[in-house]
């Protein structure tokens, strides 16, 4: 119950931001349906967490859309496509071959059939998030997040997805703090051929974590996260971009601490070439 009350109070604070929202027509449940999918060939430099050399190629299968009450975003990453012997995902490193993020949100407006928008808040959601690693079951990432979300009209950025979750660790079968997430996609310059430049990115910040869930090998922090800031060129079928990602005790792993001494704070660089379906 404490988790629910905390989430509700935080959502009220976010919604109190001053701005105006237009009333939405909820009479047609499927009026705003859409879907998209794209494949991203990517290379990362200095990605964290890391215990040494960091740099690898990967293929990202990214998808999203809206169907009735469900708003969905997700991706699947496949690392080190050629099984190279260099980098942090190198052959023999013990690193996971795959990672998946699955982020379904369920519209409270659509479920109730009412327009729940107010102020800058355009739509409300029951939000879920699942992070799954591709390594050994019970050892790799297996985290779930449950909470509330909203599409919020932010000055200049426009519609920004915001979510506040309680974090449940499926490996340890324990609740462990909260996460605030925000994501945006802002086209800001259009060319004559209808291609455009966009500023896009996200913030994931965890807080209220239990430091006692760590150990002498990998100590834990009570807060930490990451922020991604990307500049991309888009056409109808292709995209090219660069992203700068900042980390601070990411995944609540304390930077440089413990026997393993993982590096979890710093900056990473991401280069992307995209084909859209």
Residue 209 lies in a domain: yes
Q: Measure the CA dihedral 54/58/60/61, to 10°.
A: -150
What whole-number distance in Å separates Cα of residue 76 and Cα of residue 164? 23
Q: What average pLDDT does the structure give for the chain?
A: 89
Per-residue pLDDT band at 26 (split at 50, 70, 90): low
Stated as kind and residue range, the H or E segment containing 109 is helix 108-112
Domain count, the chain: 1
Per-residue pLDDT band at 84 (split at 50, 70, 90): confident
If one counts every other C-beta atom within 10 angstroms of the C-beta of residue 219, the result is 21
Determine whether 27 is exposed, middle or buried from the number of CB atoms within 10 Å of its CB (0-12, 13-18, 19+).
Answer: exposed
Tokens of 245: 């990602």
Residue 21 lies in a domain: no
Tell me the average pLDDT across 196-220: 94
Residue 29 lies in a domain: no
Tell me the average pLDDT across 153-160: 97
Residue 51 lies in a domain: yes
Count of all residues that appear for the chain in the document: 277
Decide: 140 and 169 in contact? Cβ < 8 Å.
no
pLDDT score for 4: 37
Query: What range defines the domain where residue 99 resides?
Result: 34-276
Residue 166 lies in a domain: yes
Nearest by Cα to 227 from 253, 209, 200, 252: 200
pLDDT score for 52: 74
pLDDT of 35 above 70: yes
Residue 10 lies in a domain: no
pLDDT of 45 above 80: yes
pLDDT score for 19: 37
CA 67 to chain centre: 20
pLDDT of 270 above 60: yes
Report the percent of the chain where pLDDT is more than 90: 72
Per-residue pLDDT band at 22 (split at 50, 70, 90): very low
Residue 237 lies in a domain: yes
205 or 6, which is more confident: 205
Decide: 101 and 75 in contact? Cβ < 8 Å.
yes
Residue 19 lies in a domain: no
pLDDT score for 16: 37
Tell me the average pLDDT across 35-61: 92
CATH number at residue 94: 2.40.230.20
Cα three-residue angle 72-77-83, rounded to 5 degrees: 170
What whole-number distance in Å separates Cα of residue 100 and Cα of residue 228? 18
Cα three-residue angle 133-7-11, rounded to 5 degrees: 110
If one counts every other C-beta atom within 10 angstroms of the C-beta of residue 118, the result is 13
Per-residue pLDDT band at 246 (split at 50, 70, 90): very high
Between the alpha carbon of residue 51 and those of residues 17, 81, 252, the distances in Å are: 41, 21, 16
End-to-end CA distance of the chain: 43
């Amino acid at each position: 119950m404490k988790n629910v009350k905390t989430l509700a109070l935080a959502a009220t604070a976010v919604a109190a931001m001053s701005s105006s929202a237009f009333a939405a027509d909820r009479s047609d449940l499927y009026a705003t349906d859409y879907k998209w999918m794209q494949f991203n060939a990517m290379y990362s430099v200095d990605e964290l967490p890391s215990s040494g050399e960091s740099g690898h190629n990967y293929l990202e299968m990214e998808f999203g859309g809206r169907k009735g009450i469900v708003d969905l975003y997700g991706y699947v990453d496949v690392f080190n496509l050629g099984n190279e012997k260099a980098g942090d995902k190198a052959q023999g490193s013990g690193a996971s071959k795959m990672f998946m993020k699955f982020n379904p949100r369920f519209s409270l407006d659509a479920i109730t059939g009412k327009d729940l928008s107010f102020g800058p808040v355009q739509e409300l959601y029951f939000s879920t998030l699942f992070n799954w690693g591709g390594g050994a079951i019970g050892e790799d990432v297996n985290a779930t997040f449950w909470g509330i979300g909203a599409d919020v009209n932010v000055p200049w950025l426009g519609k920004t997805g915001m979510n506040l979750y309680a974090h449940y660790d499926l490996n340890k079968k324990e609740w462990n703090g909260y996460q605030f997430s925000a994501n945006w996609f802002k086209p800001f310059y259009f060319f004559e051929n209808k291609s455009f430049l966009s500023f896009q990115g996200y913030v994931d910040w965890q807080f209220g974590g239990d430091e006692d869930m760590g150990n002498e090998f990998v100590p834990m922090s009570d807060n930490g996260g990451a922020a991604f800031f990307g500049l991309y060129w888009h056409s109808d079928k292709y995209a090219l971009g660069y992203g700068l990602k900042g980390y601070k005790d990411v995944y609540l792993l304390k930077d440089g601490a413990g026997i393993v001494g993982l590096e979890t704070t710093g900056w990473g660089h991401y280069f992307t070439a995209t084909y859209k379906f």
